[in-house]
Structure 1
Amino acid sequence: MSRIIHLSDLHFGRDRPDLLGPLLASVNGLNADLVVISGDLTQRARHHQFEDAKQFIDKVTAPILTVPGNHDIPLHRPITRFLIPFRRYKRWINPDLTPQFETDDMVVVGINSVDRFAWQAGRLSTRRLKHACAAMERAPKHKARIIVMHHPLEHPIYTKKKPARGAKKALDQLLSGGADMILSGHLHAWHAENFKVTSGTHSAVQLHAGTTLSTRLRGEPNDFNVIDISPTSFDIQRLSFDEENQRFKTTEARQFSRASLKS
């Protein structure tokens, strides 16, 4: 069995410093095999915000896999955003925009879904998708195939944001490539269900984290996800911040059968 902790939308620069201690205590106490951060580590991609994010990452005891979000490229410096959008992210966080992590029972693949030309919307390029599908296809069949990106490929009906450009085509391609679960953020709203579309008989779980540290709430508490992967299931817990007791505690629990995802 493997355990993933899924954080998202930390937004250093618009974060809650009072949550840092409880978050680190909770994350480091859960004995994860991997901690995933699905983008928006910063609010405005400034050096000091990336430095704060790096200091947080350095205090996490488990291995970390991150992908950038749209807030991790400069919004108000268009020349920098168009020509060298990820320079600061690469310097402070990770030079690899398509990271991978593998254990005996899972392979986790990051996809960069940020579009420098359409700052908020996101984009899934053919090259990025081919890279992810190739990584999944190389993995033995028994391993869970998990994709991490910032922008969701399906949105709950209550959100006003539109999915990234090419989201439907990208989802079809990732499902055909064998994806079993796709982790994302961006909406600052928690969501867990099977995707509505399938590729033949193959389906996948979509899991959105809300915002783990940001003050930019959407009527929901700060939260993160814990995913336990067994040969037969994905067991998901949502841990939300309890203001009264100043700690993260389980507020949702879902189980998805891995047998139901494939024929």
Structure 2
Amino acid sequence: MATLFHISDLHFGAEDRSALDWLEAQVRHEKPDAIICTGDLTMRGTKREFDAAADYLAALPVPVSIEPGNHDMPYYHEMLTRLRHPFRRFEAMHSRAHRPVPLPDVSVVSMPTVTPAQWRLNWSKGCVKPRVLAAALQQLSGAGPEVLKLVACHHPLVDADTEGSGSTRGGTQALAALAAAGVDAVLSGHVHDPFDLMVETANGPIRIIGAGTLSERTRATEPSYNRLEWTQQAGLSVTVQVAG
């Protein structure tokens, strides 16, 4: 059996310290095989926030796989840095804290949905670029039918029944391609509320799973994370764990 914790939207700079302490205690007690973090480690993409995120995640006693979120780039007051070096600080944090999921029967494929600029007013929304989708599909092609196939991104590829939205361009087409590739679930964050849905695509159904937030920026749900358990016999189960 594989046990994974799916976390998202820690937002260092607006983090909920008690929620982070609770998560750390859960990790030390439950000892999951790995943690998958689907972005927004910081609030404004500053070096101080990234250092705090790296210190926290690197200290957890299990591997943590980390995706970028739209808050993980320099904020708009640093526009030149945002456009020229959007992921430099994220990559420095990633090199310190990221460790791949070490399970031979679980494949976690990264598919970033963030971009420093786009042709619409709200740059916080998601975008699946063709080259990014192609790279994810290439990685998936090496996983056999007995492997749990998870795709990790920040934005929901299609909007779920939550207060927030991802409004992800190219998301519907990406879901169809991932369904054709046999993906078991797409993990995301961004909307700060958990969800677990089956979505119909042109190539059949696919599951989308969203994690809540561990920051002070809660919406309908208190700080939370998802507990994922998987066996070949029983399949994938998801339980939302809410801070008490």
Equivalences, count: 238
Name the SS of the counterpart of 2:4 in structure 1. Answer: strand
> Closer, same or farther in 2 for the Cα pair 1:100/1:175, shift >3 Å?
farther
2:186 corresponds, among 175, 182, 187, to 182
1:131 to 135, 149, 164: 135
1:148 aligns with 2:152: yes
Question: 2:221 maps to which residue?
Answer: 220
Q: State the alpha-carbon separation in 2 of the partners of residues 28 and 140 from structure 1.
A: 32
2:128–2:171: 8 Å Cα contact kept in structure 1? yes
d(CA) in 2 for partners of 1:29, 1:96: 20
| Contact 1:89-1:95 at 8 Å conserved across structures | no
Instruction: Provide the residue aligned with 1:240 in structure 2.
Output: 242
Question: How big is the shift at 1:170?
Answer: 1.1
Q: Could you say if the C-alpha distance between residues 12 and 157 of structure 1 is closer, same or farther in structure 2, counting changes exceeding 3 Å?
A: same
Residue type of the partner of 1:87?
A: R
TM normalised by structure 1 equals 0.85
Q: Does the aligned pair in 1 maintain the 2:192–2:213 contact within 8 Å? A: yes
Residue 205 of structure 1, CA deviation: 1.6
Deviations 1:137-161 (A, max 9, x none): 1012110100000000121244353
In the alignment, the residues of structure 2 paired with residue 133 and residue 26 of structure 1 have an alpha-carbon distance, to the nearest angstrom, of 33
- Percent identity, aligned pairs only, is 28
- Asked whether 1:79 is paired with 2:80, we answer yes
Once the two structures are TM-superposed, the CA of residue 63 in structure 1 deviates from its matched residue by 0.9
SS for the counterpart of 2:201 is: coil
* 2:199 alignment counterpart: 195
Partner of 1:169: 173
- Deviation of the 1:168 alpha carbon: 0.8
Residue deviations 1:162-191 (CA, integer Å, cap 9, x gap) = 521111111111111221111000001111
Give 1:93 deviation, angstroms: 2.1
Secondary structure in structure 2 of the residue aligned to 1:54: helix
Partner secondary structure for residue 26 of structure 1: helix
- Distance in 1 between the 2:85 and 2:23 partners? 32
4+ residue stretches of structure 1 with deviation over 4 A? none
User: Given residue 55 of structure 1, which amino acid in structure 2 is its aligned partner?
Assistant: D
Q: Does 1:15 align with 2:15?
A: yes
2:58 is the counterpart of 1:58: yes
What is the match of residue 213 of structure 2? Answer: 211
Distance 1:229 1:198 in 2: 26
Distance in 2 (alpha carbons) for counterparts of 1:150 and 1:237:
19
SS state at 1:155 partner: coil
* 1:250 aligned residue: none
Q: Which ranges in structure 1 are unaligned for 5 or more consecutive residues?
A: 243-263
In the alignment, the residues of structure 2 paired with residue 142 and residue 231 of structure 1 have an alpha-carbon distance, to the nearest angstrom, of 7
Q: Which amino acid aligns with 1:173?
A: A
Whether contact under 8 Å (1:36, 1:64) holds in the other structure is: yes
Aligned equivalents of 1:228, 1:198: Cα separation in 2: 28
Alignment check: 8 A CA contact 2:200 2:206 kept: no
CA distance in 1, matches of 2:147, 2:85: 36
Cα drift, residue 117 of structure 1 = 0.4
With 158-167 and 130-139 compared, the bigger mean Cα shift is at: 158-167
Q: Which amino acid aligns with 2:45?
A: A
TM-score, normalised relative to structure 2 = 0.91
Name structure 2 gaps, 5 residues minimum: none
Cα shift at 1:78? 1.2
* CA distance, structure 2, for counterparts of residue 2 and residue 100 of structure 1: 14
